[in-house]
Amino acid sequence: LTQSESNREPVAKEEEDSGEEEDGDSESTNEDSDCVNKCSEGVKKNCRSEKQSAAALCISVGSFSDPANLPGLAHFLEHMVFMGSEKYPAENGFDAFLKKHGGSDNASTDCERTIFKFDVQRKYLREALDRWAQFFIGPLMIPDAVDREVEAVDSEYQMAQPLDSNRKEMLFGGLAKAGHPMSKFFWGNAQTLKNEPREKNIDTYEHLREFWRRYYSAHYMTLAVQSKETLDNLEEWVREICIKIPNNGQPRADFSDLQDPFDTPDFNKLYRVVPVRKIHALTISWALPPQGKHYRVKPLHYISWLIGHEGAGSVLSLLRKKCWALALFGGNSESGFDQNTTYSIFSVSITLSDEGFHNFFQVIHIVFQYLKMLQSVEPQQRIYEEIQKIEANEFHYQEQMEPIEFVANICENMQLFPKEDFLRGDQLMFEYNSEVISAPLTLLTPATANILLLSPEHDGHCPLNEKWFGTQYSVEDIPEEYRDLWAGDFPLNPDLHLPAENRFIATDFTLKTSDCPDTDFPVKIIDNERGRLWFRKDNNLVLFDLFVNILAHNLAEPAYDADVAQLEYMLFPGDHGLFIRLKGFNHKLPLLLNLIVDHLANFSTAPNVFSMYIEQLKKTYYIILIKPDRLGRDVRLQILEHHRWSVMQKYEAIMADLGVTDLMDFVNRFKAELFVEGLIQGNFTSAESKEFLQYFIEKLQYKAPPAEPPVLFRVVELPQTHHLCKVQSLNKADANSEVTVYYQTGLKNLREHTLMELLVMHMEEPCFDFLRTKETLGYQVYPSCRNTSGVLGFSVTVETQATKFSTDFVEGKIEAFLVSFGEKMVNLSDEAFQTQVTALIKLKECEDTQLGEEVDRNWFEVVTQQYVFDRLNKEIEVLKNVTKDELVSFFMEHRHTSSRKLSIHVCYLFAESILFLKHREDRKWSLQAK
């Protein structure tokens, strides 16, 4: 039990969410956040100290315990316990209760643990705890709900299929010894949980009940609760409510005797895989003895720190110089897949360039050379203590986590560490021990490595198919040439060496004395024709994308020490300019900014680096477009904002013959005429803050533009009729479709935006209940508040399986929901309306967990040039006098037959060849444009 304290892109990404911010939405803020909970996190006064209360429960059982004849049962049970209880039988009653009181909930199933969590306003914590605990005391799990909820599990599985990370895990798990739980199908789907059990007369419902009785037992559970209530109150509530959770006294599931699951001939081979994304990726993996017991030393963290280093002498530094790689990640994620009681995985994952792919064996050899170099010397105490110091700085000066995430982390830690380390066991390195570090390090040899190579060039050459995700792959022995080389005493590479001392580690944490009046909101301290700076003391877009990618590449090595010393920086090509964002200890932050500005001022690129990023951006744009949700968003914004460059247009433009000269001409024009606007917030004085902007001016020597540049697009006013746009999904391996129905309301003003937030908040739970729980249309179902460059609207989105429902059918169901929602709003009681208003006010009053939340709100005001820093206070005043009739009228006004409606369908299979737009009048359809 913990008591809350009251004072307290794109760059061409290589991870699974590659290019996720490609069209600039999050930084340029052309379109605000997609859900009301995020929308409602606006500006807060310092005097507000309330934050959400939260609870999380971890059960020491997961997918390893699935019965052999019902793959995915643990995951399915995690879904089912939420479907009502004996005391509170309404299926979505808990979700509805949380939505009314500003809360949320979630759950996840891992290999050996399952976690449930929720947050809610403090006033309603006790009641929420009681409702939540009933899922572990007396869940209903009625047969009818079982049949319907299996469709949600199946939808989740279908959505997981197009992700290469999931496909790699399923393929990798299949290499385990027969009978080891790692080879099980953890996701579950309609086939394993409904169709096959019926064919084999297996009673899924009874197995669910039995699994719950066997494993959902109090002695398997750890609970964490956080609130500003007194600890005595919290303990009393927990004892009173949770005492009824049954305790069957049976021994826990234990898999620790199943060691060396990958000690098989199939493991030490080369697997070629056809990826969904157009990328070249290499993963080298080792299966080691379980390392969890060594948490005080954290040997894999030490090794991963070195193998993942990006400074001089590192693997990635050498690969970048050869233009063979764009990114490298090494280590153990500490997820159940990577670390459990049977093994620990150590992996080196490298995103390869085209040239790197064609030289992938040489890339592997460089990794093996670096590991051999590490094995040839004793683990370095100097480096260990440097890492230890950085981790300690991060731990002691960390910003608070969101309460719901904090309790989830703590309740899992309670399963892993002794009680004195519940809060720190997963974060700190306690003691240097060379023997403990050397033990796994010596096992990282070529003879025990698994090699996984992903490339679209493997298409047509991979005859094997993984059973569950259909991943195409082939398997082959390591070529004799390399097997013999790696078996011998191969020489070390002189370009590979240990990192030098890190000069960016902060040592001065003194709080600055303010040199300007204390204010609740930022104040303007510079305003002239070349820039504007706000301060608050606190205790050719393709060429542009290329420019920012290569600038990040140029900075990668010199700024790496700053990155590992907890100084974060981000370079982002927004729709209207370059964003540079820095965060970290103030002591060395100016040093990092100067480094970035120096590289900006002296920008240059080599032809081979330019070519590498041309190819990488092609892949990045493609990766965005094959995701139905991103393609749908791109199409919608292309229709609404005619001057926006869509990702499709960028993809077409980058296929043109661009050269280094084109890029340098663009960069020189970009740097010649600028307007710089910034926000400094944190432990600086205003005098120090002015030096940030001054360094830009002095170093870049730019001129002021003739007029201050615009920061928003002009938005098309939709005609008062229904427009429908269908586009075929570009990913043939993704059997999911997406439907978004968008209603445009008009120019944003503060009152209408607040009404829209309140409306969408009312809509969330009924939308989930109608479209997912009852209609079982898909796993992802949500309404959104839309702010598109200052034009307001709302939408409802459903991601569905094309094999089950057509997009036209789904849109019909969305319309049916909106009709039923309108009736629900008309009949809404005054009490229910006021409860939702109060919940939204409480959300806006909730204390910031991190400084970054306040900075994000203030930066939104700066970057959109609105400067309403006390926006939340004004919105709260609106909420205090809004009426139910006003909200109902607002909804009905924009839902009548002449509403401004745009539907976007991303279809898995579609008869028309590319894209068309049509409108509907009196249920008659006609082709308008093609």
pLDDT in tens, 678-730: 888 888 888 888 888 888 888 888 888 887 777 888 899 999 889 999 998 88
Examine the pLDDT at 62 and tell me if it is beyond 70.
yes
Written as six digits, the tokens of 789 are 């460059």
The amino acid sitting at 633 is: R
Which value, to the nearest 10 degrees, does the dihedral of the CA atoms of residues 680, 683, 688, 694 take? Answer: -30
Q: How far is CA 48 from CA 521, 535, 844, 895, in A?
A: 14, 21, 10, 37
With a cut of 80, say whether residue 460 has pLDDT above it: yes
Q: Which of 261, 139, 154, 180 is CA-nearest to residue 777?
A: 154
Q: Is residue 871 pLDDT above 60, yes or no? A: yes
DSSP letter at 552 equals H
What one-letter code names the amino acid at 383? Answer: I
Question: Strand 676-682's sheet: what is its strand order?
Answer: 523-528, 531-537, 676-682
Best CA proximity match to 269, nearest among 465, 478, 483: 478
Q: What percent of the chain has pLDDT over 90?
A: 63
**In the chain, what are the domains?**
49-243 (3.30.830.10), 270-379+432-487 (3.30.830.10), 722-918 (3.30.830.10)
pTM: 0.75
How far apart CA 231 and CA 238 sit, in angstroms, is: 11
Query: 398: which 2 tokens?
Result: 């960390």
Of 35-49, 251-265, 805-819, the least confident: 35-49
Establish how many alpha carbons lie within 13 A of residue 179's alpha carbon, considering only the half-sphere containing its beta carbon: 6
Q: Which helix (H) or strand (E) holds 154?
A: helix 143-160
Pairing verdict, β 578-583 and 676-682: unpaired
Q: Please tell me the distance from the alpha carbon of residue 922 to that of residue 598, in angstroms, as a whole number.
A: 62
* Amino acid at the residue 208: L
CA separation for the pair 73, 211 (Å, rounded): 8
For residue 314, pLDDT over 70 is answered with yes
Say yes or no to pLDDT of 11 above 50. no
Bridge partners (DSSP) of residue 582 are: 569
Instruction: Return the closest-CA partner of residue 398 out of 427, 369, 436, 355.
Output: 427
Cβ-contact 366, 318 below 8 angstroms:
yes
Token pair in block for residue 244: 């009824």
Active-site residue, selected from the candidate residues 31, 78, 112, 775: 78
Confidence of residue 929 (pLDDT cuts 50, 70, 90): very low
pLDDT digit string, tens, across residues 65-93: 999 999 999 999 999 999 999 999 998 89
**Is position 853 annotated as part of the catalytic site?**
no
Split at pLDDT 50, 70, 90, the class of 352 is: very high
Encode pLDDT of 600-629 as tens digits: 999 999 999 999 999 999 988 988 888 889
